[in-house]
Amino acid sequence: MVRDDPDYQPRFKEVFGVSGDAITIEHVKQAIAAFERTLISGDSPFDRWYFGRDRKAMSEAAIRGFKVYMEQGRCVSCHTIAEDHALFTDNRFNNLNVGFERIAGRLPKLTAAFEKSKRAGGNVDVAVLSNANLSELGRYAVNDQWRSMGAFKTPTLRNVARTAPYMHDGSLKTLKDVVSFYSKGGRVKDKDPINAYQSSGIRPLGLSDKQQADLVAFLEALTSPAYAKSK
């Protein structure tokens, strides 16, 4: 895909001086590594508070939010925190009930057509990147397993206050919206439908307004100073 893409072609030419078939996986790996070096994050108020034991590093609200994060909010089960490091992701895939409604009603036809095209040699990468309906199939498009229907990978939460909009389709604008969405068990509005394939880790949490505000304060404490400065 990279070799043929009109956007990538001049960029690879500029950086590596190669084009067409001369672009190899080594070039792609180097490009990704260079990107990843911009993502290295640490030294956030949370890191200083949790790992550095600096009791003043986080606000009272953020400390209360951490308790919600670990307990009633169930956040930590997917956005993991380990004893000596915190990636804030378990690298698993879940259907949260985001954006799935657009295909839910015609899913049997959509998946049947998708599978038929796949068997005929169709390019999955192209399909999911170019067709908004097929992109909602999520991980299923890759592994053909019903358990992965509409499932997307858990992202890290480092610097999350700086990475709006949220969810795989950018449909939620603020962290407040995101926390409210989870509290309602994967709904924007109370009466929104839940699709049949929603992850069984998602359920209504019943967080109070204060708990939700505290949770947002905690999420805001995950920003690295170096990242904030570079933006």
Residue 197 C-beta: closest distance to another protein, Å: 6
Closest to another protein by CB, 12 or 227: 12
Q: Is 7 in the site for another protein (CB under 8 A)?
A: yes
Q: Are 79 and 154 in contact (CB under 8 A)?
A: yes
User: What's the rounded Cα separation, in Å, for the pair 48 and 44?
Assistant: 6
Are 199 and 96 in contact, with CB atoms under 8 Å apart?
yes
Alpha-carbon gap, residue 70 to 215, rounded angstroms: 10
Minimal distance in Å, beta carbon 193 to another protein? 11
Which range of residues in 16-24, 64-72, 125-133, 213-221 is near another protein by CB under 8 A?
125-133
User: Which residue(s) pair with 166 in the sheet?
Assistant: 172
* 201 is a contact residue toward another protein (CB under 8 A): yes
Stretch 98-117: interaction string toward another protein, x if CB under 8 A: --------xxxxxxxxxxxx
Amino acid at 217: A
H runs (alpha helix) in the chain: 8-16, 25-37, 45-50, 60-70, 101-104, 107-119, 124-130, 132-135, 140-143, 175-183, 209-220, 225-230
Report the residue from 80, 133, 156, 159 that binds another protein according to the rule CB under 8 A: 133
One residue of 122, 165, 170, 206 binding another protein per CB under 8 A: 122
Query: Among residue numbers 178 through 197, which ones bind another protein (CB under 8 A)?
Result: 194-197
Shortest approach of another protein to residue 78 CB, angstroms?
A: 9
Residues 46-75 that bind another protein (CB under 8 A): 74
Q: Which is nearer to another protein, 147 or 162 (CB)?
A: 147
Please tell me the distance from the alpha carbon of residue 36 to that of residue 119, in angstroms, as a whole number.
Answer: 34
| Shortest CB 7 distance to another protein, Å | 5
Q: Least Å distance between CB 43 and another protein?
A: 30
Number of residues that bind another protein (CB under 8 A): 44
Closest CA to 46 of 143, 155, 158: 158
Q: Per rule CB under 8 A, is residue 97 in the interface with another protein?
A: no
Query: Applying CB under 8 A, which residues contact another protein?
Result: 1, 4-7, 74, 77, 106-118, 122-124, 126-127, 129-134, 145-147, 149, 194-201, 203
